[in-house]
């Protein structure tokens, strides 16, 4: 059974049982108290990313933490992944940030940048 | 703004309004203050490059940001003031030149023994300074170049501190920030056209704060008694609470000990507004 099939079987509840997911939610909620609705949306995006990678969340974090080159490759693939979800660059950036937050709060440091139009804003 | 208010209100601001430019007059006012900063021997070894984020070539801007790992405050601040220390500005011969000037204007009193002959003798011939004079022969004669770099660095740090307060005095937010990752310092020097010999010190990020400067609460400070001794280390300088109250009344205060209740909501909002992960 592939990792993807395995995840489909486990469903959302089991997806939250992964250690990396729990840590992510604990750390973020401690500061920002995100709503359950927002978490559902975030987990859905992460789940899609995991399916694309055909790995579970713990495997992705373990790889990203142990191999810098692999972590950078994940970020490259993340950009492509976000573009498949939307054509809007700002929304795509938001999708990327969900996965970046997952990485960062699991100890896999990644470069963060603001929206590309940040210098052109008028307010 | 009064001096004590500037010290009391200063916080390291890490979220700036990207869309609000700093008038060039305010930048110049900060630089004029730095120019008059106190410095031993009047050496003035600081060398500064001002970068306005939206006026510099965007390609260079992005290279400078990349050298600093795209740090959030750096990315957002509209003005970056790069401070470097010039070791040649703290060489014995420079000290001689500067102190001659101080003798000429009467700042270094002849009554204490200051004159050009004694300065030259001490610095260049290692002649012992007479009683009543600093032992500059021991300090400066044969001073290694690395020590000049240390002196220049230390004096430039002092200028950075004054620049920070000058920015607060202009109603701006400010944050002293590393110039770049250590491995990227040479690259930044190249981008800014700085000579190889200059030593990177700090960059001062300035702009209008997007965050409430008080929202993060008081930055923890070491207890007064732990820092200040009287006559002998470990014998605490006596602290008079009435003086503390007077200073607070005059503006030297940081009113709350804890972050404001909505601090993390504010951070969440700011991160989302600028497009950072939450």
Q: What is the pLDDT of residues A52-74, one digit of tens each?
A: 999 999 999 999 999 999 999 99
User: Where exactly are the structural domains of chain A?
Assistant: 3-120
Phi/psi at B106 (5° precision): 80, 15
Q: Is residue B112 part of a domain?
A: yes
Q: Which of B53, B69, B76 sits opposite A111 (nearest CB)?
A: B69
Averages of pLDDT over each 10 residues, chain B, 278 residues = 91 94 98 96 97 96 95 96 98 96 94 92 93 91 96 97 97 96 97 98 97 80 93 96 94 77 92 95
With an 8 Å Cβ cutoff, is B207 touching chain A?
Answer: no
pLDDT at B259: 82
B267 part of contact set with chain A, CB < 8 Å: yes
Domain count, chain B: 1
pLDDT the model gives residue A110: 94
B210 falls within a domain: no
How many residue contacts between A and B have a Cβ separation below 8 Å?
53
pLDDT score recorded for residue B221: 84
CB B153 within 8 A of CB B137: no
A107 C-beta neighbours (distance < 10 Å), count: 12
- Supply the pTM of this predicted model: 0.89
Task: Tell me, yes or no, whether B113 lies in a domain.
Answer: yes
Give the burial string for B246-269 (b: 16+ CB within 10 Å, else e). eeeeeebbbeeeeeeeebeebbbb
Q: Which of A104, A114, A119 lies nearest to residue B54, judging by beta carbons?
A: A119
- Residue B126 covered by a domain: yes
Say which of A34, A112, A123 has its CB closest to residue B277. A112
Element (H, E) at B65: helix B58-67
B75 touches chain A (CB under 8 A): yes
A96-102, long-range: CB within 8 Å, 24+ apart, which pairs? Answer: A97/B275, A97/B276, A97/B277, A97/B278, A98/A42, A98/A45, A98/A46, A98/B277, A99/A45, A99/A46, A99/A49, A100/A75, A100/B277, A101/A24, A101/A28, A101/A42, A101/B277, A101/B278, A102/A20, A102/A24, A102/A46, A102/A57, A102/A61
Judge whether A112 is closer than 8 Å to chain B, CB to CB.
yes
- B77 Cβ contact partners less than 8 Å away, ≥ 6 residues apart: B16, B53, B175, B205, B206, B207
A84, burial (CB in 10 Å: exposed 0-12, middle 13-18, buried 19+):
exposed
- pLDDT of B20: 94
> Residue B52: which region, alpha, beta or left (left: phi > 0; alpha: psi -120 to 50)?
beta
Chain A environment of B265 (Cβ under 8 Å): 32
On whether residue B109 sits in a domain, the answer given is yes
Residue B65 belongs to some domain of the structure? no
Q: Which alpha helices (H) appear in A1-123, and where do they start and end? A: 3-15, 19-32, 36-53, 57-66, 68-85, 89-104
* pLDDT for res A6: 57
**pLDDT for B25:** 98
Task: Name the stretches of chain A with pLDDT < 70.
Answer: 1-11, 120-123
Q: With CB atoms and an 8 Å threshold, state whether B264 touches A32.
A: yes
Give the structural domain span for B119.
Answer: 92-142
Rounded to a whole number of angstroms, the CA Rg of chain A reads: 15
- Residue B242 located in a structural domain: no
């Amino acid at each position: 059974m592939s990792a993807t099939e395995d995840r489909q079987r486990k469903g959302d509840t089991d997806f939250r049982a992964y250690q990396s997911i729990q840590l992510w939610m604990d750390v973020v909620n401690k500061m920002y108290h995100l709503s359950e609705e927002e978490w559902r949306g975030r987990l859905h995006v992460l789940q899609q990313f995991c399916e694309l990678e055909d790995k579970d969340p713990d495997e992705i974090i373990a790889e990203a933490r142990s191999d810098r080159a692999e972590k950078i490759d994940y970020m490259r693939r993340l950009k492509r992944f976000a573009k498949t979800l939307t054509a809007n660059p700002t929304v795509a950036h938001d999708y990327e940030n969900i996965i970046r937050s997952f990485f960062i709060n699991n100890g896999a440091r990644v470069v963060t940048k603001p929206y590309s139009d940040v210098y052109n804003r008028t307010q | 703004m009064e001096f004590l208010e500037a010290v009391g209100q200063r916080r390291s601001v890490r979220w700036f309004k990207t869309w609000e430019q700093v008038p060039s007059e305010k930048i110049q006012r900060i630089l004029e203050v730095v120019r008059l900063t106190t410095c031993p021997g009047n050496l003035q070894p600081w060398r500064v490059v001002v970068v306005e984020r939206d006026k510099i070539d965007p390609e260079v801007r992005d290279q400078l940001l990349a050298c600093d790992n795209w740090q959030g405050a750096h990315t957002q601040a509209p003005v970056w003031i790069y401070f470097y220390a010039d070791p040649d500005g703290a060489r014995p011969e420079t000290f001689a030149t500067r102190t001659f000037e101080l003798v000429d204007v009467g700042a270094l009193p002849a009554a204490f023994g200051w004159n050009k002959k004694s300065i030259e003798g001490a610095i260049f011939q290692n002649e012992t300074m007479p009683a009543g004079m600093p032992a500059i022969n021991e300090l400066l004669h044969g001073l290694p170049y690395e020590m000049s770099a240390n002196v220049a660095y230390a004096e430039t740090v002092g200028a950075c501190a004054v620049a920070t307060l000058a920015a607060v005095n202009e109603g701006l937010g400010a944050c002293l920030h590393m110039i770049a990752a250590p491995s990227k310092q040479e690259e930044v020097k190249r981008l800014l056209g700085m000579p190889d010999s200059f030593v990177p010190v700090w960059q001062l990020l300035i702009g209008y704060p997007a965050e409430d400067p008080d929202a993060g609460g008081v930055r923890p400070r070491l207890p007064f008694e732990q820092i200040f001794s009287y006559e002998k280390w470990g014998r605490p300088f006596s602290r008079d609470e009435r003086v503390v109250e007077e200073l607070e009344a005059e503006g030297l205060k940081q009113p709350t000990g804890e972050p404001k209740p909505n601090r993390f909501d504010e951070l969440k909002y700011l991160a989302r507004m600028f497009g950072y992960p939450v």
